[in-house]
Amino acid sequence: MKGFLRGIVKENPVFVLYLGLCSTLAITTSINNALGMGVCVIAVLICSNAIISAMRHIIPDEIRIPVFIVIIAALVKCCALLLQAYIPSIYSAMGVYIDLIVVNCIVLGRAEAFASKNGIGASIMDGLSMGLGYTFALLLISLIRQIIATGAIALENPMSGATIFNLTLFPSEFTVSMFGTPTGAFLTFAVVAAVFTVWTKKDSKKAGEK
């Protein structure tokens, strides 16, 4: 369980390892976008880790990175086609960033650092852990930005576009529209990452004292 939680908290790919920041800052304008990207990355991480782990003994070291990229690119294309066919609203919202999952440092990094050296079961759990950590980061940033920029928490059904819930927390007169822009994304990330850094350092210090 500790190993599983590692990717969500202590080694969170966004707030601790600072990986995948381009897509994180770009698509966290709403909870819907964050969920869509998070689910795609989880699926690609789990599948790519499993495939690479299963093939690790037959992939020559000299060409392992190109092979990893080809496997990841094929999986990302499958995700893109599925989104385009069944959830076009999410596909349109994520735009080019879904294709950039291919070069996302989290996916390629876990393939190289973990899946290529460990068994299938452990690699699947590593992919799930890192994927959930990435999704948690997206949801947290998008929630903060959405609340400050709009004064509400809203979630839509990606299939039909119908509103699942829309909770207004404060009037629009008190919103800060800047948080719906890239500047707001950087500010939100910086504050949350700073909090994570302080918290993880304190946690490590306590563990060292024990």
pLDDT tens-digit readout, 93-124: 787 788 888 878 889 889 999 999 999 999 99
Of 130 and 157, the structure prediction assigns the larger pLDDT to 130
Give the residue-averaged pLDDT of 142-163: 87
In angstroms, rounded to a whole number, what is the distance separating the alpha carbons of residues 20 and 71?
A: 19
Average pLDDT, the chain: 87
Give the residue-averaged pLDDT of 59-76: 93
Cβ atoms of 150 and 180 within 8 Å: the answer is yes
pLDDT at 190: 94
Count Cβ atoms below 10 Å from residue 123 Cβ, excluding itself: 26
Structure pTM?
Answer: 0.89
Span of 1-5, 34-38, 134-138, 161-165 with lowest mean pLDDT: 1-5
- Enumerate the domain spans of the chain: 2-209
For the record, the structure tokens of 189 come out as 């990330």
In angstroms, rounded to a whole number, what is the distance separating the alpha carbons of residues 151 and 167?
A: 9
pLDDT above 70 for 209: no
Cβ burial of 205 (10 Å; 0-12, 13-18, 19+) is exposed
Which band of pLDDT confidence, cut at 50, 70 and 90, is reported for residue 74?
very high
